[in-house]
């Protein structure tokens, strides 16, 4: 029954279904830990004793440094994985690192900021590192004509998974006694354990059902690390051969910056204009469930009218959402903003992943998806930093939104230079 349902949303073959289960597995870490629960747990419990501004600064520093480390090491690890035929092995290593650190969050005590910082740092490394190798498997389970559909279905599964477990976790946290927990803190720690178990258990289908791609030995033998740096040097020398992949990479740096800023700063801006936390949580849950059908529909639309056109549509909706944020004054506006983001969030990310997969050589997917990961990681730092600088310069969050719209416009312009057909031919040559 589950296989039939997955086939209906585009996951036709057994290896495609096995691959997509990892979207289901890891998404709960992003929803429960990174977004909904851990930030407030860190600020009010683990960092108790620090000034609120100090706790916020510490949390931001942990996020930034962990993202930077992944951005630095991903290309080297990707090259090693391609050369040695170890994509699944590296995925497993980072998954275990992430799962273990997430489970250990249940051990954090009040005021234990050192342990909390270390575990969140390691968890971010684990989940981000695993996604480099997970994404690199996409071209090996889906033909170029199927990548839109398969990538979008994976994102839809992630939305459903993250939403389901988040609802369970929030029920525990809001009514701990009803579920047998001593207090709210116990319920929060149980939520971290639930995320770790969920992530580990639902990773198993990928390891059992997706074959390890053959190693690429196109650059001669030798120590893997030496070969990795040789491959990276070759990639930079040959970048002109993959001009369209490079242009897409630049476009993603720009519009992903805008996307990540809208996501990460919306709650801060919402609080500034008087949107209470309960309304923000409700809007976040809505995004999870509205995003499920929209991600699937975007995959189907991409196959019908073209991937690049769909990404343009998504960018247009983001610009509309940012414009709405400029005039936002009420919870109704905030929910409308969240709804607009939900319409295109999963689709834009899934189709960007699918298009990039078609524009890169299939024997070097880990290496190239490591650079794709750099664009995503950079976006989590640069966009919010640009927003913050704009606020400091202008003294207004509303004025900072204009800078975010500029990122979307610039990203759309660079995307317009990408030739899908020429890029796909170059990838196969």
Cβ-in-10-Å burial (0-12, 13-18, 19+) of 266 comes to: buried
Predicted confidence at residue 237, as pLDDT, reads 66
List, in order, residues 6 or more apart from 421 with CB less than 8 Å away.
Answer: none
Average pLDDT, the chain: 85
* Backbone region of residue 418 per phi and psi (left: phi > 0; alpha: psi in -120 to 50; beta: other values): beta
Look at 328 and 60; give whichever has higher pLDDT.
328
What whole-number distance in Å separates Cα of residue 333 and Cα of residue 316? 18
282-324 pLDDT, tens per residue? Answer: 888 888 889 889 988 988 898 889 999 999 999 999 999 988 8
pLDDT of residue 284: 82
pLDDT 10s digits, 198-210: 999 999 999 999 9
pLDDT of residue 219: 55
Averaged over 321-343, what is the pLDDT? 86
Q: What is the pLDDT of residue 268?
A: 60
Residue corresponding to tokens 């000034």: 51
- Per-residue pLDDT band at 271 (split at 50, 70, 90): low
Own/partner long-range contacts of 106-110 (Cβ < 8 Å, ≥24 apart): 106/189, 106/190, 106/192, 106/193, 108/45, 108/46, 108/189, 110/45, 110/46, 110/48, 110/185
Confidence bin at 222 (pLDDT 50/70/90): low
What pLDDT was estimated at residue 282? 82
For residue 238, what pLDDT band results from cuts at 50, 70 and 90?
A: low
Residue 384 pLDDT level (bands cut at 50, 70, 90): low
* Average pLDDT rounded to a whole number, residues 383-387: 69
Give the Cα separation of 162 and 144 in Å (integer): 28
Contact 19, 137 (CB under 8 A): yes
Q: Return phi, psi of residue 219, to 5°.
A: -105, 130
Which domains, ranges and CATH numbers included, belong to the chain?
9-210+224-428 (1.20.1250.20)
**CB burial class (10 A; 0-12, 13-18, 19+) of residue 428?**
exposed
Helices (H), 202-276: 204-209, 224-237, 243-272
Residue 50's DSSP bridge partners are 48
Q: How far apart are CA 314 and CA 255, in angstroms?
A: 10
Instruction: Write out pLDDT tens, residues 67-90.
Output: 778 877 877 777 777 777 888 999
What pLDDT, on a 0 to 100 scale, did the predictor assign at position 226? 61
pLDDT tens profile 13-65: 999 999 999 999 999 999 999 888 898 898 889 988 877 667 766 777 787 78
- For residue 355, which of 314, 319, 306 has the smallest C-alpha distance? 306
Q: Per-residue pLDDT averaged across 103-131, rounded? A: 95
- Please report the DSSP string for 341-357 in residue order: HHHHHHHHHHHHHHHHH
State yes or no: pLDDT of 417 exceeds 90. yes
Point out which residues pair with 48 in neighbouring strands.
50
């Amino acid at each position: 029954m589950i296989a039939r349902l997955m086939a209906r949303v585009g996951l036709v073959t057994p290896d495609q279904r096995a691959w997509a289960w990892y979207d289901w597995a890891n998404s709960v870490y992003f929803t429960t830990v990174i977004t909904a629960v851990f930030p407030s747990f860190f600020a009010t419990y683990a960092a108790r004793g620090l000034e609120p501004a100090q706790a916020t600064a510490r949390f931001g520093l942990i996020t930034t440094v962990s993202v930077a480390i992944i951005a630095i090491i991903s290309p080297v690890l990707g090259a090693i994985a391609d050369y040695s035929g170890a994509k699944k092995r590296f995925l497993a290593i980072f998954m275990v690192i992430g799962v273990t650190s997430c489970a250990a969050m249940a051990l954090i005590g009040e005021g234990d900021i050192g342990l909390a910082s270390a575990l969140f740092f390691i968890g971010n490394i684990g989940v981000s590192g695993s996604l480099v190798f997970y994404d690199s498997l996409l071209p090996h389970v889906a033909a170029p004509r199927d990548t839109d559909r398969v990538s979008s279905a994976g994102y839809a599964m992630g939305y459903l998974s993250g939403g389901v477990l988040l609802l369970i976790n929030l029920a525990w946290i809001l009514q701990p006694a009803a579920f047998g927990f001593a207090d709210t803190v116990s319920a929060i720690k149980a939520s971290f354990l639930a995320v770790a178990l969920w992530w580990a258990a639902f990773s198993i289908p990928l390891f059992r059902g997706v074959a390890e791609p053959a190693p690429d030995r196109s650059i001669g033998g030798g120590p893997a690390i030496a070969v990795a740096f040789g491959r990276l040097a070759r990639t930079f020398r040959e970048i002109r051969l993959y001009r369209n992949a490079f242009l897409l990479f630049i476009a993603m740096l720009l519009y992903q910056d805008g996307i990540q800023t809208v996501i990460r700063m919306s709650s801060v801006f919402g609080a500034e204009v008087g949107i209470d936390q309960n309304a923000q949580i409700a809007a976040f849950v809505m995004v999870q469930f509205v995003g499920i059908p929209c991600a699937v529909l975007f995959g189907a639309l991409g196959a019908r009218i073209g991937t690049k056109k769909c990404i343009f549509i998504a960018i247009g909706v983001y610009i509309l959402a940012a414009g709405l944020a400029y005039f936002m004054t009420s919870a109704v506006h905030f929910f409308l903003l969240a709804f607009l983001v939900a319409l295109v969030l999963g689709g834009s990310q899934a189709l960007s992943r699918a298009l990039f997969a078609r524009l890169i050589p299939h024997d070097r997917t880990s290496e190239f998806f490591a650079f794709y990961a750099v664009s995503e990681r950079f976006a989590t730092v640069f966009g919010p930093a640009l927003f913050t600088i704009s606020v400091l310069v202008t003294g207004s969050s509303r004025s900072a939104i204009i800078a975010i719209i500029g990122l979307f416009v610039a990203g759309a312009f660079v995307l317009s230079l990408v030739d899908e057909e020429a890029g796909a031919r170059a990838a196969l040559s």
